[in-house]
Amino acid sequence: MWLRELWFVLVGILFTGYFILEGFDYGVGMLHPFLNHTDLERRASLNAIGPIWSANEVWLVAAGGALFAAFPYWYATMFSGFYLALILILLALIVRGVGLEYRSQDKSPKWRATWDWLIFSGSLLTTILWGMAFANLVRGVPINGHMVYVGNFGTLFNGFSLWAALTFILLFLTQGGAYLAIKGDSRSRKHGRMVAQKTVWPALIALVIWFVWMDRLPSSLGHVDSLAIVLQVVAVLALILARFASYLTKNGWTLVLFSVSIASTTFSIFRILFPRVMVSSLNPAWSLTIYNASSTSYTLDIMSVTALIILPIILGYQSWLYWTFRKPVNDEELGY
């Protein structure tokens, strides 16, 4: 049934939107204590993402909702197997969100310094855990014949997933630097451009190694086709072109090209997974697929109609928000 394929693609699009938009959010959060030296600079950095960070997380909520309704067995197995990791992501997001809103509510240097490091920690931990989670979806985790995860939290730690975490960190740092080069104040724009230029080559190396590693995994045999390779090549080329765009001070193109790289990376993961959604390391036949993990045809029909109504609203609201707050940060109008 084509609706299963459609919803697999939609889930991939939702996670792609989340990683692009929250990628620069997390990047700015990870750069926050190091890139800015004065309180005014730190406030300006936070004001660059302040009006839009919560709207960006709508993509994660939508992706989770799509998983729950369209692929309930995928949702159940992943959320039970990755339970502790997802709880840590939730706590990190809460700490980060509270930090963004509360950091400048008190003028005490100790108060602000505490929240600065919590914003950094929340952004870093979330990035690490998402990288590890998606790496393990491809590499495989112990799932038995009843679609039950039989591993533990330590199972998620392996060389491939840790390298994925490093790759996600570097990609989001470049994305965050490129975003600050457009949206920050005069100091943040200069510093952000410098970060984007310096981190792009380590990010490129890490990404290439991760792609080669992923394509050679036993779980990837027979699933790395020409489309997956093309997506990986696009991701690499986009990073190279972004570096040259940054050198030419084309900050808008730099951010777009970094976003293309993140999008191609995410799509390549889903392409290699297809038609699987979670790979079983115990027995390939026990892997969850879009066929044995999906909802009924009736549910998918209802979900499709709902998506046609809700997605344009999300896109319209987000477009309006970004247009409203399109101007760079003004030091005299700092709300965060």
**pLDDT one-digit tens code per residue, 195-206:** 999 999 999 999
Please give the Cα distance from 175 to 29 (Å, whole number). Answer: 11
Whole-prediction pTM value?
0.94
**pLDDT one-digit tens code per residue, 270-306:** 999 999 999 999 999 999 999 999 999 899 999 899 8
- Alpha helices by DSSP H, listed for the chain, are 2-35, 39-49, 53-56, 58-70, 72-81, 83-102, 109-139, 159-183, 186-215, 226-247, 251-273, 297-324
Please give the Cα distance from 190 to 335 (Å, whole number). Answer: 21
Structure tokens at 226: 């020409």
Q: Where are the domains of the chain?
A: 2-324
Q: Is the CB of residue 289 less than 8 Å from the CB of residue 143? A: no
**pLDDT one-digit tens code per residue, 230-265:** 999 999 999 999 999 988 888 899 999 999 999 999
CA 199 from centre of chain: 17
Collapse the DSSP code of 213 into the 3-class scheme (helix H, G, I; strand E, B; otherwise coil) and give the result. Answer: helix
For residues 100-105, average pLDDT: 88
The amino acid that residue 12 corresponds to is: G
Element containing residue 278 per DSSP (H, E): strand 276-278
**pLDDT one-digit tens code per residue, 3-17:** 999 999 999 999 999
Q: pLDDT band for position 39 (50/70/90)? A: confident
What is the average pLDDT score of the chain? 92
Q: Is the CB of residue 173 less than 8 Å from the CB of residue 34? A: no
Please give the Cα distance from 132 to 262 (Å, whole number). Answer: 16
Beta bridge partners of 276: 289
Q: pLDDT band for position 1 (50/70/90)? A: low
